[in-house]
Amino acid sequence: MTIAAGALHALARRSNDMSAHPPARVGAAIDEIDTPALIVELDALERNLDRMANAVAPGIALRPHAKSHKCPPIALAQRARGAVGVCCQTVAEAEGFVHAGIDDVLVTNEVVGAPKLARLAAIARRAKIGVLADDVDNVSDLARAAERAGVVLRALVEVDVGAHRCGVAPGTPAVRIAQAIAQERALAFGGVHAYHGAAQHRRTPQERRDAIASATALARETRDAIQAAGIACPLVTGAGTGTWPLEHASGVYTELQPGSYVFMDADYTRNTPDGDDVRFEQSLFVLTTVMSTAAERHVIVDAGLKALAFDSGMPLVRGEGVSYERASDEHGTIAVEGAAKPRLGARVWLIPGHCDPTVNLYDWLVGMRGPRVECVWPVAARGALG
């Protein structure tokens, strides 16, 4: 017996689009926001945007990563402050930002398979689109997709400079990919992508300096080898919120890709800053409500595994004497030993452990200016996995 066979097609649409119901109206007070809700403090966000825009020297491009915020109004604000465009991590994200009016997107990832490649080429009719490659067959597939769409795609070689994820080895293997790209009429060689993801969360300034010194040496070697092969290398791009001052000062990197600086999170606060680092403020919070006070030494809030990412540990609680101790699917246990127990219905502000996957759990980002909701932004690229 098949499941409700006759009803399948009728149900193959959203029967109740929850995302149609934002958690707050513009002008609402904090107590009127439905929880759990993803909140951004706009003053702190704008200070973060300004600090990064002001810190980047002439001759170095800022291309912030939009996978952190997934939110077109923030991308437009970055563009308005001088960013050359944004980075995305998936074709679906890139589609979202191009549709929202961003005209220059670098997909900092390989794109594999005919359907995804066709979608990537399609948005290159409306915007400047770049993509990474670490395989010569994939370079050929990229070129065929671009030809079919009648576009030129910018392709960069991804080099593994320490993250040990995607990317070819520095030097000769990278030159081979660059040559394959340069031979294709439908591709423009865009340069070297050398992002050291693993270095972003090394805790001490010295560990980060060592990691980026090594990445810089490998990026330089690769750039020089490509140029020695007769191929112009217009760009060396990489860097994240944890290390960007180092790539910025390297003399090799010409474009920076930090993303998390707009929001920050509990994990980034565990990095010991270098003396002269630009400091970014926590602007992102998950607003929760106390829904049970029946126990003696804890209260329960309405944000658990479906409202926060836990890959980088527990969220922090804004305020003293309480801590987020344990999560289940829809509940968070807040330990209150030594502090006054919050009352039923009280609001508790949480600082997410890891901003990117937490943002990915929400349809709406509620922007607060002081005590009032100023805007409710769609997290347009939420769930844009492919």
Report helix, strand or coil for 207: helix
Least separation in angstroms between CB 49 and a second copy: 8
**Residue 222 and residue 206: Cα distance in Å, rounded?**
24
Pick between residue 197 and residue 273 the one whose CB is nearest to a second copy.
197
**Taking the CB of residue 273, how many other CB atoms lie within 10 A of it?**
14
Pick between residue 47 and residue 209 the one whose CB is nearest to a second copy.
47
Least separation in angstroms between CB 343 and a second copy: 9
Least separation in angstroms between CB 276 and a second copy: 26
Of 56, 105, 101, 107, the C-alpha closest to 77 is 101
Of 20, 24, 68, the C-alpha closest to 268 is 68
**Torsion, CA 125, CA 128, CA 132, CA 136, rounded to 10:** 50
Distance of alpha carbon 202 from the chain centroid: 18
Of 308, 310, 291, the C-alpha closest to 299 is 291
Pick between residue 218 and residue 254 the one whose CB is nearest to a second copy.
218
Least separation in angstroms between CB 172 and a second copy: 13
Per-position DSSP letters for 27-68, written without gaps between them = T-BGGGS-SSEEEEEHHHHHHHHHHHHHHSPTT-EE--BTTT
Pick between residue 113 and residue 232 the one whose CB is nearest to a second copy.
113
Least separation in angstroms between CB 219 and a second copy: 16
Least separation in angstroms between CB 275 and a second copy: 29
Instruction: Check if the beta carbon of residue 285 is closer than 8 Å to that of residue 318.
Output: yes
Pick between residue 276 and residue 329 the one whose CB is nearest to a second copy.
329
Pick between residue 99 and residue 270 the one whose CB is nearest to a second copy.
99
